[in-house]
């Protein structure tokens, strides 16, 4: 991937990040992520389709509820919004191409600052989309997905699609349409919905039935508009149980799958799962991935991690190897992601104020996934894991187990077999043996 540097070089202290292998001591080099290495029949780059998230990497400056941002971005200094958007995009493509990440993703308002009117914002977006197209063509980097920020502005404080005021829903529709247009224009693989304010803080004033039906209507309109205008990618919906609202309608994978099926959206939508959101829902990420995979809806991942010791969305870079190995086991068994990829919805800490810190963060995240993928593949091919798991269910491969699975037995017939066989023998689940297997292969 050719490195793209604009009028200003924003990261002069780093060149293209090389792969140097596990014995390397070079901080700004990959130890495990080797884009062309084939694992389980696919290049690493194609397994992951890593993406840089525009909002964390080029927008958020470290503000928290207790204080303002701590990080200063040289690409945010120009006098006009139009120039800042271009400078930011120069910085983004320099970062993306130096890191060698094949994709990026954005909210509409990551690319441009919102104007005073819809028309002004639309014009800014069109301008920057044209610029992004040039950058994509020059570098080969592509858009993983686009989305609309329908949660930050105060007008969305009571929700966007689920707002009790129809005028707000209409305003959101205008923003949604432009964001879908931008995604189509840039050849995005997907379009994401994360319902930031689609939920409630109290049931006392909330008609949940009406609101969730409005949400389904909004998604249906988006699907129909996208399909009518040539969008062939995947629509993705990102579960999160809470934060910013007390209860979000897209609570977790199982909730979202039921919602999509109930509203006739299951053929066009898949899930975009995020580790920290799983944590907040009280689930392991592997659980969320398995639920989605079982439904044929494992679409895309937001890579990060939470902090087990507190209850909010810390969006840290993913460096937990064991957790990632478990995730990669689910991914490989499922045959990969359907349509999407893996974007780093993760931010450097508020105290990580050097621009180089975001290189270290992404390198660590990509290496964690690469290492976990190789370990998971080794477990699946060179350990007893799959055979042991299959053996647990062997009684359903023949005889009355197989007849039960095939639906060939009535309850009376199965009960009669139960009466005849009597008390079944006890079989150990051997959980510790499985846990040891995983540990043995982490090397």
For ligand XUL, the binding residues (CB under 6 A) are 107, 147, 192, 194, 238, 240, 274, 302, 313, 345
Selection from 349, 365, 346 nearest residue 357 by Cα: 349
Q: Which does 347 bind (CB under 5 to 8 A by kind): ligand XUL, Co ion, none?
A: none
Q: What's the closest the beta carbon of residue 301 comes to Co ion, in angstroms?
A: 9
Binding letters toward Co ion, positions 367-396, x by CB under 5 A: ------------------------------
In the bound state with ligand XUL, the residue whose beta carbon lies nearer, of 101 and 376, is: 101
Q: Which does 313 bind (CB under 5 to 8 A by kind): Co ion, ligand XUL, none?
A: ligand XUL
Strands 199-200 and 190-193: unpaired
Selection from 132, 123, 119, 134 nearest residue 88 by Cα: 132
Give the separation between CA 122 and CA 103, rounded to whole angstroms: 24
**Per the omega criterion (within 30 degrees of 0), is the bond before 97 cis?**
no
107 a catalytic residue: yes
Contact status, residue 342 vs residue 49, Cβ threshold 8 Å: yes
Give the separation between CA 254 and CA 290, rounded to whole angstroms: 10
Site for Co ion in 297-326 (CB under 5 A): 302
Give buried/exposed letters for 331-363 (b at 16+ CB in 10 A, else e).
bbebebbbbbbbbbbbbbebebeebeebbbbbb
In the bound state with ligand XUL, the residue whose beta carbon lies nearer, of 150 and 332, is: 150
Task: Please pick, among 110, 178, 252, 367, the residue that the annotation labels catalytic.
Answer: 110
Give buried/exposed letters for 109-121 (b at 16+ CB in 10 A, else e).
bbbbbbeeeeeeb
Give the separation between CA 435 and CA 431, rounded to whole angstroms: 6
Q: Which does 288 bind (CB under 5 to 8 A by kind): Co ion, ligand XUL, none?
A: none
In the bound state with ligand XUL, the residue whose beta carbon lies nearer, of 100 and 190, is: 190
Residue 316's contacts (CB-CB under 8 Å, 6 or more residues apart) are 276, 304, 305, 306, 307, 346, 347, 349
Task: Please pick, among 56, 107, 277, 287, the residue that the annotation labels catalytic.
Answer: 107
Candidate list 345, 346, 355, 375; residue touching Co ion; CB under 5 A: 345
Beta bridge partners of 142: 103
Binding letters toward Co ion, positions 255-294, x by CB under 5 A: -------------------x--------------------
Q: Which does 240 bind (CB under 5 to 8 A by kind): Co ion, ligand XUL, none?
A: ligand XUL
In the bound state with ligand XUL, the residue whose beta carbon lies nearer, of 151 and 359, is: 151
Q: What's the closest the beta carbon of residue 288 comes to ligand XUL, in angstroms?
A: 13
Residues that bind Co ion (CB under 5 A): 274, 302, 345
Residues recognised as catalytic: 107, 110
């Amino acid at each position: 991937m050719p490195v793209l540097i604009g009028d200003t070089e924003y990261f002069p202290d780093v060149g293209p990040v090389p792969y140097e292998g596990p014995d390397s001591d070079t901080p700004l080099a990959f130890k495990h992520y080797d884009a062309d290495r084939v694992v389980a029949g696919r290049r690493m780059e194609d397994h992951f389709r890593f993406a840089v998230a525009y909002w964390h990497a080029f927008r958020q400056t470290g503000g928290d509820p207790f204080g303002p941002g701590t990080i200063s971005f040289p690409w945010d200094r120009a006098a006009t919004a139009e120039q800042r958007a271009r400078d930011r995009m120069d910085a983004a493509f320099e970062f993306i191409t130096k890191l060698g990440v094949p994709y990026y993703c954005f909210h509409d308002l990551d690319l441009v600052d919102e104007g005073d009117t819809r028309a002004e914002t639309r014009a800014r977006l069109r301008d920057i989309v044209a610029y992004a197209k040039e950058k994509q063509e020059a570098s080969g980097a592509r858009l993983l997905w686009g989305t609309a920020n329908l949660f930050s502005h105060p007008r969305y404080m009571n929700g966007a699609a689920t707002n009790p005021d129809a005028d707000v829903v209409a305003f959101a529709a205008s923003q949604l349409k432009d964001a879908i247009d931008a995604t189509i224009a840039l050849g995005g693989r997907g379009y994401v919905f994360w319902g930031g304010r689609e939920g409630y803080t109290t049931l006392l004033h909330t008609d949940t039935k009406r609101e969730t039906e409005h949400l389904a209507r909004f998604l249906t309109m988006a699907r129909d508009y996208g399909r009518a205008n040539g969008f062939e990618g995947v629509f993705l919906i990102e579960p999160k149980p809470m934060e910013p609202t007390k209860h979000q309608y897209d609570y977790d994978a199982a909730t979202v799958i039921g919602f999509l099926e109930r509203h006739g959206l299951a053929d066009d939508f898949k899930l975009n799962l995020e580790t920290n959101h799983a944590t907040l829902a009280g689930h392991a990420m592997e659980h969320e991935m398995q639920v989605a995979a079982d439904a044929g809806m494992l679409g895309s991942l937001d890579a990060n991690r939470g902090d087990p010791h507190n209850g909010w969305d810390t969006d840290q870079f993913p460096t937990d190897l064991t957790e990632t190995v478990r995730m990669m086991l689910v991914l490989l068994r499922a045959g990969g992601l359907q349509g999407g990829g893996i974007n780093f919805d993760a931010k450097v800490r508020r105290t990580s104020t050097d621009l180089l810190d975001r290189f270290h963060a992404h390198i660590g995240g990509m290496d964690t996934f690469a290492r976990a993928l190789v370990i998971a593949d080794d477990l699946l091919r060179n350990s007893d894991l799959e055979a042991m798991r299959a053996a647990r269910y062997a009684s359903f491969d023949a005889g009355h187990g197989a007849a039960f699975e095939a639906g060939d037995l009535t309850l009376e017939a199965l009960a009669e077999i139960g009466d005849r066989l009597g008390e079944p023998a006890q079989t150990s689940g051997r959980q510790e043996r499985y846990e040891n297997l995983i540990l043995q292969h982490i090397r």
